[in-house]
Amino acid sequence: MCNPLLEVKNLTVNLDNGKTLLDNISFNVEHHQCVGIVGESGSGKSLTSKTIMGLLEPYFKVEGQILFNPRQTPLNQQVKGDLLTQSADTLRQIRGNTIAIILQHPMSAFDPLYRIGKQVIETLQAHLPLSKKEAVAKTLTMIKEIGLNDPKQIYNKYPHQLSGGMLQRIMIGIALMLKPELIIADEPTTALDSISQFHILKMFQQIKQQSTTAMIFISHDLGVIHHIADHIVVMQQGKIVEQGCRDQIFYHAENDYTRYLISARKQLLAKFDSVVYPKMFIPTLESA
């Protein structure tokens, strides 16, 4: 039996003042699996992703293990093992090449002073052995493949000239070009309108169907999680209160908080049923 791609074991995060933010959480991500992490604001979802990526400030105290076991080690053998023990330089190399993160607010991921194309090719050349000509060609192809019209025009625009949905697609496109083993998507649809949410979810579904990349998909929206995740982790106040396969969580939940989240989501959908709204853009709990 293959080892999991990622094992989070007894992970605890405290502040300097002793306040516990993550309390002894454990979960696995298998190769080519999408794990959904769901919970209300302040439950510890985003803090978990930042801890995995090694992005916490020094005043956080981290205990436990984050074991990473990629199929390939393009950097060096140090990539395997406990991410919490890696040097800052090694973690910088891992980000992008091996683990990619897609943020909730795509505008914050781009420098407003530089054109989109310049930023994409610089990212590619920082991680891949490409000439500028090759990087430009890959960038234009990527813009076309993610469904944006007129790639040359997009290439020459500044971030503020594109919508949040367009920037989010470009972030996903960059991640796919780097072919990471794991993508961490931290609330990637929350700041977008319904139409953009639909297109972004379709992109993530294509990643599941057409690539070997595993995913951690973080959201407060159970409808989105039901639409994309194979395994679901439910968090509340820094703890995992329940986890299991999608059907187990949605139809046989044992924890009261999990049942509350599912009930609240169903009530919200029932309210939408009485409003004229493009339902194709609302993932339902019944849709696979």
Percentage with pLDDT > 90 across the chain: 51
CA distance 225 to 231: 9
Range of the domain at 261: 6-113+158-275
The predicted pLDDT at position 77 comes to 46
pLDDT of 268 > 60? The answer is yes
For residue 157, give Cα distances in angstroms to 160, 234, 261. Answer: 8, 40, 41
Q: Which residue has the tokens 């009930």?
A: 263
What is the number of structural domains in the chain? 1
What pLDDT, on a 0 to 100 scale, did the predictor assign at position 270?
Answer: 60
Q: What is the CATH number of the domain that holds 191?
A: 3.40.50.300
Residue 147 located in a structural domain? no
Q: Which residues contact 281 (CB under 8 A, 6 or more apart)?
A: 194, 195, 197, 198
pLDDT of 154 > 80? The answer is: yes
Q: How does pLDDT run across 59-98, given as a tens digit for each residue? A: 999 999 999 987 655 444 446 689 999 888 888 888 877 8
- Does residue 26 surpass a pLDDT of 70? yes
More confident residue, 48 or 192: 48
CB 217 within 8 A of CB 36: yes
In a domain, 202, yes or no: yes
The type of residue at 194 is S
Confidence (pLDDT) at 79: 60
**83 three-state secondary structure:** helix
For residues 110-131, give the mean pLDDT.
93
Confidence of residue 128 (pLDDT cuts 50, 70, 90): confident
Integer Cα distance of 71 and 232 in angstroms: 23
Alpha helices in the chain (DSSP H): 45-53, 88-97, 116-127, 132-145, 151-155, 164-177, 194-210, 222-228, 246-251, 256-273
In a domain, 93, yes or no: yes
Model pLDDT for residues 203-238, shown as the tens digit of each residue: 888 888 878 899 999 998 888 888 889 999 999 999
Across the range 42-54, mean pLDDT stands at 93
The rounded percent of the chain whose pLDDT value lies above 70 is: 89
Tell me, yes or no, whether 122 lies in a domain. no
Q: What is the pLDDT of residue 78?
A: 47
Sign of the alpha-carbon torsion through 274, 277, 278, 282: negative
- Classify residue 89: in a domain, yes or no: yes
How many other CB atoms are there within 10 angstroms of residue 89's CB atom?
8
Is residue 151 situated within a structural domain? no
pLDDT top residue among 277 and 24: 24
pLDDT of 271 strictly over 80: no
pLDDT confidence bin for 185, thresholds 50/70/90? very high
User: What is the mean predicted confidence (pLDDT) over 36-58?
Assistant: 92
140 domain-assigned = no
CA angle centred on 204, ends 202 and 207, rounded to 5° = 115
CA distance 170 to 116: 9
| Nearest one of 189, 245, 233 to 27, comparing CA atoms | 233
Non-local (6+) Cβ contacts of 68 within 8 A are: 5, 6, 79, 80, 81, 82, 83, 98, 99
What pLDDT is attached to residue 241? 97
Residue 175 pLDDT level (bands cut at 50, 70, 90): confident
3-state secondary structure 149-216: CCHHHHHCCCHHHCCHHHHHHHHHHHHHHCCCCEEEEECCCCCCCHHHHHHHHHHHHHHHHHCCCEEE
Which pLDDT belongs to residue 2? 65
* Helices 164-177 and 116-127: angle between axes, nearest 10 degrees: 20
User: What's the pLDDT at 127?
Assistant: 86
Residue 153 covered by a domain: no
- pLDDT at site 195: 79
